Structure 1
Amino acid sequence: MKWLWICLVLCGAAQADSVPVFVTLPTPDLPPSNLTAPISLPPVPTCGATTAVSAPSRPLPPAVTGRVGFYAALYDPQFRPIRALGLGQVNALFALGSAFKPQVVRAALQEVDAGRLNLAALITTTPGKRSIEAYPPGQNTVAKLAQWALERSDNTASDLLQLGLGPPKIARAVQALSPCTSILHTTKAWWAAQAGLMPDIFPNLVTDAVNASILPFEARLKLAERLNARAQDFTGPQVEAALDTYFHGPAYAPALELALQNTSTPQGYADLLARTLGGNGLKPATRALFRQWLAASCCQPRRPALKTFYWGHKAGSGWRLLTLTGSAELPGGRRLAYAYFNDGSNTLESEDMERQIPALVAWIDAALVELAR
């Protein structure tokens, strides 16, 4: 099974003295009564005000099925949208897939800038912290893990950084910038929960997880601490095997994508990327690394029609899921940002979803050219 690692060749994307102290946070209990009370959810949860946008002039590639949300905007120097294009429900919640990883890496680089973390510090991959798929074994530097989290979309590299900094710290920082964005869980935590490996936390998986997803932010954060800690009781291969069974069996429940994965809205995430993907808030050295890694991540066309000074991007894929996000700086200093989210596709495996990427990045390129005129 292949997850969230997007082949750069497929879409032609562009191609590091103090030792940090990582503190293990407590994992407070959440009363079960908060999870099991029956609730009613709207079919498509939303966040933020409805925004009037123009639709892109070109239709989506014919292979695209399922629910699509797309938002792209041209921003002024204060990161306020000047004009925008949108498709679908731009304020509906979607799972981010691996598109959340730049926020983890940016948080790590901010810690480097503050002197609390060193790019050369070594972090060890333990069986409990290893996520699914290929992973960086042994000890690796913070710089290497950050690079792999973006360029390779490495799940373990991202999880190691997230756990080292403390998921609550990252979650609160992101929520302060983007109230519609929730980055609460490591990749291993949401997949272990989604695969049904945590009946001690979610006895009735779908009902309990959906109910938990609409708790107040601080309650969700406490529950996420339990999930992130509990996930370390499993090995990566155990989680991966359970996921194969889950996704190909009768237990599959689409509601768990929004209930357990990190989420945002097309508009909310594009607005966040406009403010963060260029390396704003980082010092020159860490900013240069961040931009370099994002430019080498997935995905943009081999020969973009959009004329840019810089284009950083991050993608994610999964079962019936594909996300394509990025931010581009245009000659003259103007900035574009976009978020394309697709879930519920009739295409099942992530490898097959990824085959749609070349046509989709060409479609996004055309939309951004249209927006930049």
Structure 2
Amino acid sequence: MPTGLALPAGVTGRVNFYAAEYDPRTHQTLRALALGRPDDVQPLASSFKPLVVQAALQEVDAGRLRLNTLLTTTAANRSIEGYPAGSNSVQVLAKRAIYLSDNTASDLLHLAAGPERLAREVRRQSPCTSLLLTTKAWWAAQAGLLPAVLTPDPVAGLRAYGAQPFDQRLLTARALIAAAQKVTGPEVERQLDLYFHGPTYAADLELAVQNTSTARAYTDLMARTLPGAALKPATRTVFRDILATGCCRPKTPKLDATYWAAKAGSGWGILTLTGYVETGDGRRFAYTYLNDGSVTTDAEEMEKQIRPVVLWIEQNLLTLRAQRGRPLP
């Protein structure tokens, strides 16, 4: 059913939202609220990072990594913005990827887990969700720094990449990830800034190059992912502890949450928020808020909307909670 709550003042652009309550045993949707077109594909920004952290911890469970395995930041794998210098453990990088939304930490884990393996697993679990590229690869591609893969015209190249069938996109994504390691993080950041403020920026390319999903599909996927059920007990505890530090939740929640996992993402005219809540009476909720095409373009300015949007999301969850006994129509 549609939410009856108006969006906070200042929110512009395309907003699609989906929140649902799930049966704790069967994981079936019991009731849901939606805004907009929750089956439209949109960019995830950094909200994809819980999937990377889960994949890295599954590598720990499989014995291919350990929580204290050290991964080293180099000029080749450093992404944009702040980064973890030197060598850091898988566990430290996992926390940085969620708590700080550290792009390099996420990329190091992504590369260690195997981008192609993760892409196929995500597609198997959620066909509407696409997770193909590391952050450095998609930013470098968008900034026009990978002409050897995308042709000298980055706009045409990215549109062609976005239109490829999945298996072909996997091959192109592999080439983009490799090519991105030949440019530095600061170079990507400089060129990206010029691109966003320049005449060649095209909003539709966010869908072509970023990791994407729909509000409904990603909520369903997060309802299965964020409890940590796919992990062994030790890594599940690590995962849940880390996701409980993710952005964002109300400072003083009205919802009786015993566990609130969350992750946000922002970009040029983009704000995304996803999460999963367990309450004291044993109920389970998940949600995804996807906003792109905002007239507020700068990521830091978009992030100022997080607090009012989080409160709006909580009000929707409280509405769902009050609907016990009223299943989906």
Q: Is the 8 A contact 1:297 1:313 kept in 2?
A: yes
1:62 maps to amino acid: A
Alignment of 1:254-333 (within 5 A): 254-333=203-282
1:222-261 alignment runs, 5 A limit: 222-261=171-210
* Alignment match, 1:221: 170
RMSD of aligned C-alpha atoms? 0.9
After TM superposition, the structure 1 = structure 2 runs for residues 33-72 of structure 1, keeping only pairs within 5 Å, are: 54-72=1-19
Secondary structure at the aligned position of 1:164 is classed as helix
CA distance in 2, matches of 1:168, 1:231: 16
In the TM superposition, residue 308 of structure 1 has moved relative to its aligned partner by 1.4
Give the TM-score, by structure 1 length.
0.84
Which residue of 1 is the match for residue 21 of structure 2? 74
The yes-or-no answer on 1:174 pairing with 2:125 is: no
Residue 208 of structure 1: CA displacement? 2.7
For residue 283 of structure 1, report the CA deviation from its aligned partner: 1.2
Question: What CA distance in whole angstroms lies between the structure 2 residues aligned with 1:61 and 1:343?
Answer: 15
Give the Cα–Cα distance (whole angstroms) in 1 for the partners of residues 145 and 69 of structure 2.
Answer: 33
How much identity, in percent, do the aligned residues show? 56
Deviations 1:205-262 (A, max 9, x none): 2233223213221111111000111000010000000011000110111011000000
What residue ranges of structure 1 are gaps of 5+ in the alignment?
1-53
1:346 aligns with 2:299: no
1:32 corresponds to which residue? none
Q: Equivalent of 1:137, from 85, 91, 108? A: 85
Q: Deviations over 1:305-363 (max 9, x none)?
A: 11112110000011110000000112232211100000000001111001011100000
- Could you tell me how far 1:270 is from its partner in structure 2? 0.2
CA distance in 2, matches of 1:266, 1:347: 21
What are the residue-to-residue correspondences of 1:187-206 with 2, within 5 Å? 187-203=135-151, 204-206=153-155
Q: Which residue is equivalent to 1:87?
A: 35
C-alpha distance in 2 between matches for 1:242 and 1:120: 35
8 Å Cα contact 1:206/1:255 also seen in 2? no
Q: 1:361 aligns with which of 310, 317, 321?
A: 310
SS of residue in 1 equivalent to 2:257: coil
Name the residue aligned to 1:23.
Answer: none
